[in-house]
Amino acid sequence: MFLRKTWVGLFLLTAAAAILRLWQIDSIPPGFHFDESFEGLEAWRILTDPTYRPIFIEGNFGVAPANAYANAGMFGIFALFGGEPGPTAMRVTAALFGVLGVLATWLAAGELRQLGAPRLTAAFPWLAAALLATTRWHIHFSRMGIEP
Protein backbone atom coordinates (compact mmCIF):
# COMPACT_ATOMS: atom_id res chain seq x y z
CA MET A 1 0.00 0.00 0.00
CA PHE A 2 2.87 2.36 0.84
CA LEU A 3 4.45 1.78 -2.57
CA ARG A 4 1.15 2.49 -4.30
CA LYS A 5 0.75 5.79 -2.40
CA THR A 6 4.28 6.75 -3.36
CA TRP A 7 3.60 6.15 -7.05
CA VAL A 8 0.29 8.03 -6.92
CA GLY A 9 1.93 10.94 -5.10
CA LEU A 10 4.82 11.01 -7.55
CA PHE A 11 2.39 10.95 -10.47
CA LEU A 12 0.41 13.88 -9.01
CA LEU A 13 3.58 15.86 -8.31
CA THR A 14 4.86 15.22 -11.84
CA ALA A 15 1.49 16.11 -13.35
CA ALA A 16 1.39 19.38 -11.42
CA ALA A 17 4.92 20.25 -12.55
CA ALA A 18 4.05 19.39 -16.16
CA ILE A 19 0.85 21.45 -16.13
CA LEU A 20 2.65 24.49 -14.72
CA ARG A 21 5.33 24.22 -17.38
CA LEU A 22 3.27 23.25 -20.44
CA TRP A 23 0.13 25.37 -19.98
CA GLN A 24 -0.02 27.88 -22.89
CA ILE A 25 3.61 27.10 -23.74
CA ASP A 26 3.09 28.55 -27.22
CA SER A 27 2.31 32.05 -25.90
CA ILE A 28 3.82 32.42 -22.40
CA PRO A 29 6.43 33.87 -22.13
CA PRO A 30 5.63 36.23 -24.99
CA GLY A 31 8.13 36.89 -27.73
CA PHE A 32 11.23 35.00 -28.67
CA HIS A 33 14.48 35.70 -26.82
CA PHE A 34 17.78 36.08 -28.70
CA ASP A 35 19.30 33.07 -26.95
CA GLU A 36 16.28 30.97 -27.93
CA SER A 37 16.70 31.92 -31.58
CA PHE A 38 20.40 31.10 -31.49
CA GLU A 39 19.73 27.69 -29.94
CA GLY A 40 16.97 27.09 -32.50
CA LEU A 41 19.24 27.87 -35.44
CA GLU A 42 21.90 25.52 -34.09
CA ALA A 43 19.30 22.78 -33.55
CA TRP A 44 17.97 23.26 -37.07
CA ARG A 45 21.49 23.01 -38.47
CA ILE A 46 22.14 19.80 -36.50
CA LEU A 47 18.88 18.36 -37.83
CA THR A 48 19.37 19.31 -41.48
CA ASP A 49 23.16 19.13 -41.97
CA PRO A 50 24.48 15.56 -41.51
CA THR A 51 28.07 16.82 -41.42
CA TYR A 52 27.45 19.22 -38.52
CA ARG A 53 27.88 17.41 -35.19
CA PRO A 54 29.48 19.91 -32.80
CA ILE A 55 31.01 18.98 -29.46
CA PHE A 56 31.08 22.68 -28.53
CA ILE A 57 29.18 25.56 -30.12
CA GLU A 58 31.43 28.60 -30.42
CA GLY A 59 28.78 31.19 -31.27
CA ASN A 60 26.83 33.15 -28.65
CA PHE A 61 29.91 33.28 -26.38
CA GLY A 62 30.22 29.49 -26.43
CA VAL A 63 27.69 26.94 -25.26
CA ALA A 64 27.56 23.20 -24.74
CA PRO A 65 25.59 21.51 -27.53
CA ALA A 66 23.36 19.24 -25.38
CA ASN A 67 20.41 21.63 -25.53
CA ALA A 68 20.78 22.09 -29.29
CA TYR A 69 20.78 18.30 -29.79
CA ALA A 70 17.70 17.93 -27.57
CA ASN A 71 15.94 20.70 -29.50
CA ALA A 72 16.88 19.06 -32.80
CA GLY A 73 15.31 15.84 -31.56
CA MET A 74 12.13 17.68 -30.57
CA PHE A 75 12.08 19.42 -33.97
CA GLY A 76 12.14 15.97 -35.55
CA ILE A 77 9.32 14.72 -33.30
CA PHE A 78 7.19 17.78 -34.03
CA ALA A 79 7.79 17.40 -37.79
CA LEU A 80 6.93 13.70 -37.59
CA PHE A 81 3.50 14.55 -36.18
CA GLY A 82 2.84 17.43 -38.57
CA GLY A 83 3.90 20.20 -36.22
CA GLU A 84 6.17 23.09 -36.99
CA PRO A 85 9.74 22.99 -35.69
CA GLY A 86 10.18 26.30 -33.93
CA PRO A 87 9.81 28.15 -30.64
CA THR A 88 7.04 25.94 -29.28
CA ALA A 89 9.05 22.78 -29.89
CA MET A 90 12.05 24.32 -28.13
CA ARG A 91 9.95 25.40 -25.17
CA VAL A 92 8.38 21.95 -24.88
CA THR A 93 11.90 20.50 -24.70
CA ALA A 94 12.81 22.88 -21.89
CA ALA A 95 9.55 22.17 -20.06
CA LEU A 96 10.13 18.41 -20.21
CA PHE A 97 13.63 18.83 -18.80
CA GLY A 98 12.14 21.02 -16.06
CA VAL A 99 9.73 18.23 -15.13
CA LEU A 100 12.61 15.74 -15.13
CA GLY A 101 14.44 18.12 -12.79
CA VAL A 102 11.56 17.89 -10.32
CA LEU A 103 11.74 14.07 -10.44
CA ALA A 104 15.52 14.18 -10.04
CA THR A 105 15.13 16.43 -7.01
CA TRP A 106 12.72 13.95 -5.44
CA LEU A 107 15.17 11.09 -6.05
CA ALA A 108 18.21 13.04 -4.82
CA ALA A 109 16.42 14.22 -1.67
CA GLY A 110 15.33 10.65 -0.97
CA GLU A 111 18.90 9.42 -1.33
CA LEU A 112 20.17 12.21 0.92
CA ARG A 113 17.64 11.21 3.56
CA GLN A 114 18.67 7.54 3.33
CA LEU A 115 22.35 8.40 3.75
CA GLY A 116 21.66 8.94 7.41
CA ALA A 117 20.81 12.59 7.79
CA PRO A 118 19.01 12.18 11.14
CA ARG A 119 16.86 15.31 11.03
CA LEU A 120 15.35 14.75 7.61
CA THR A 121 11.84 13.36 7.78
CA ALA A 122 10.04 11.18 5.25
CA ALA A 123 8.41 14.36 3.92
CA PHE A 124 11.77 15.85 2.89
CA PRO A 125 11.87 14.49 -0.70
CA TRP A 126 8.25 15.52 -1.22
CA LEU A 127 8.82 19.00 0.13
CA ALA A 128 11.99 19.52 -1.93
CA ALA A 129 10.34 18.35 -5.15
CA ALA A 130 7.12 20.28 -4.48
CA LEU A 131 9.06 23.48 -3.85
CA LEU A 132 10.98 23.06 -7.10
CA ALA A 133 7.79 22.19 -8.98
CA THR A 134 6.12 25.42 -7.85
CA THR A 135 9.04 27.85 -7.64
CA ARG A 136 8.48 30.82 -9.94
CA TRP A 137 12.03 30.96 -11.27
CA HIS A 138 12.20 27.28 -12.08
CA ILE A 139 8.86 27.41 -13.87
CA HIS A 140 9.89 30.51 -15.82
CA PHE A 141 13.21 29.15 -17.04
CA SER A 142 11.68 25.73 -17.72
CA ARG A 143 9.42 27.48 -20.23
CA MET A 144 12.21 29.14 -22.23
CA GLY A 145 14.03 27.26 -24.96
CA ILE A 146 17.50 28.19 -23.77
CA GLU A 147 20.37 26.32 -22.26
CA PRO A 148 20.13 26.22 -18.44
Is 126 domain-assigned? Answer: yes
Answer whether residue 102 is part of any domain: yes
**Per-residue pLDDT tens listing for the chain (148 residues):** 568 899 999 999 999 999 999 999 999 889 888 899 999 999 999 999 999 999 999 988 888 999 999 999 999 999 999 999 999 999 999 999 999 999 999 999 999 988 877 788 889 999 999 999 999 999 999 999 887 6
- Burial label, 74 (beta-carbon count in 10 A; 0-12, 13-18, 19+): buried
Closest alpha carbon to 47 in 70, 28, 20, 19: 70
Domain contains 148: no
- Contact indicator for 127, 10 with CB cutoff of 8 Å: no
* Predicted TM-score of the model (pTM): 0.90
Judge whether 25 lies within some domain. Answer: no
Inside any domain, residue 58 = yes
Q: Is residue 3 part of a domain?
A: no
Within a domain: 47:
yes
Query: What domain count does the chain have?
Result: 1
Task: Find the domain containing 94 and state its range.
Answer: 30-142
In a domain, 19, yes or no: no
Measured CA to CA, the distance from residue 96 to residue 43 in angstroms comes to 17
Q: How far apart are CA 67 and CA 90, in angstroms?
A: 9
